Amino acid sequence: MARILAALAMCVSLAAAPAFAQNQQQELLQQRLEEMRNAPSDPSLPAVNTLTCDQMMAEMMSAGQRMNGQMDPSMAANAQALRDETQGRGVGPNAPRPTEAQAAANRERMAGLGNQVMESTQGIDMNRMMAVSDRFQSEHCPTPQGPQPH
């Protein structure tokens, strides 16, 4: 009986280990998001409410270029693979539900993608970027259009 209980305890601990690791990864991501939200803004920058449309566009373009330069090249492929896999099972009430292992793997992949996004935004004041974006929209600033076909 003791051997069975010991084996059962070992199975439970092994089964719980991946969930514990996923929870840790999700908690780490949540902690990083909180740190980003609470990061102080650079006082040397002009207040967002004083920026012109051109200045706001320049800030957003600069941040976008920096983010793109810091982005893990595999991120888009990882996101597309996850999307393809989940859509491959179908959508709606008749779609087969993922197994527990598939769901756990998907949660881990989602946390990994979240971490990749966090890495790509290092050094970018995301609070300021959201404020700039909101003001850009509220001021009805013109959005640049790409090359127009003739």
pLDDT, tens digit (0-9, with 9 covering 90-100), for 87-117:
776 666 777 888 888 888 888 888 888 888 8
Contacts of 128 (CB under 8 A, 6+ apart): 41, 42, 45, 48, 59
Q: Is the pLDDT of residue 60 over 90?
A: yes
Contacts of 103 (CB under 8 A, 6+ apart): none
Write down the pLDDT at residue 16.
Answer: 44
Write down the pLDDT at residue 8.
Answer: 34
Q: Count the neighbouring beta carbons within 10 Å of the beta carbon of residue 80.
A: 10
Phi, then psi, of 104 in degrees rounded to 5: -65, -40
Mean predicted confidence (pLDDT) in 56-74:
92
Domain ranges in the chain? Answer: 49-87+101-138
Is the pTM value of this prediction over 0.75? Answer: no
Write down the pLDDT at residue 59.
Answer: 94
Q: How far apart are the first and last CA of the chain?
A: 82
pLDDT, tens digit (0-9, with 9 covering 90-100), for 120-134:
888 899 889 999 999
pLDDT, tens digit (0-9, with 9 covering 90-100), for 69-89:
998 888 888 888 888 877 776
Write down the pLDDT at residue 21.
Answer: 52
